Amino acid sequence: MNLENYFPVLLFILVGIAVGVIPQILGRLMAPYKPDAQKLSPYECGFEAFEDARMKFDVRYYVVAILFILFDLETAFFFPWAVAQKELGWAGFLIMLGFILEFAVGFWYIWKKGALDWE
């Protein structure tokens, strides 16, 4: 077995590590580090930064996030359909109407279940 055959793999790994590590090191060395109260304030989730990672919090945050991803992916199917609408014809139109109906029923269901209510 010739080890020279594995040199490209080793080179690929080393370049991959360098591409990931060197920008982080340069950023740490060259960027100004001036934390203040505004930078350390809670951002999206509403919790104080740098607290205990095992603290309990409301599951509704995750439910809203998962529903956003779900409906965002569903709406992403509208764009290719709109582009190919002429080639799909009436069959594609009717299939998409069924998809939109399923989309609306799903949205109505989560609305009625109260998944979008934030008390």
Which CATH number fits the domain that encloses residue 65? 1.20.58.1610
* pLDDT given for residue 53 in this prediction: 63
Q: Apex CA 24: angle with CA 20 and CA 27, to 5°? A: 145
In a domain, 16, yes or no: no
In a domain, 28, yes or no: no
In a domain, 103, yes or no: yes
Question: How would residue 12 be classed by pLDDT, with cut points 50, 70 and 90?
Answer: very high
In a domain, 92, yes or no: yes
Convert the pLDDT of each residue in 31-68 to its tens digit.
888 888 777 776 666 555 566 667 676 777 788 888 88
In a domain, 22, yes or no: no
Residue whose structure tokens are 């205990």 = 52
| Domain ranges, residue 106 | 58-119
Mean pLDDT for 83-100 is 92
* pLDDT given for residue 1 in this prediction: 66
* pLDDT given for residue 50 in this prediction: 61
* pLDDT given for residue 46 in this prediction: 59
**Is the model's pLDDT at 7 over the cut of 80?**
yes
Stated pTM of the model: 0.48
State how many domains the chain has.
Answer: 1
In a domain, 53, yes or no: no
Mean pLDDT for 95-112 is 91
In a domain, 33, yes or no: no
Q: What amino acid occupies position 38?
A: Q
In a domain, 47, yes or no: no
Question: How would residue 11 be classed by pLDDT, with cut points 50, 70 and 90?
Answer: very high
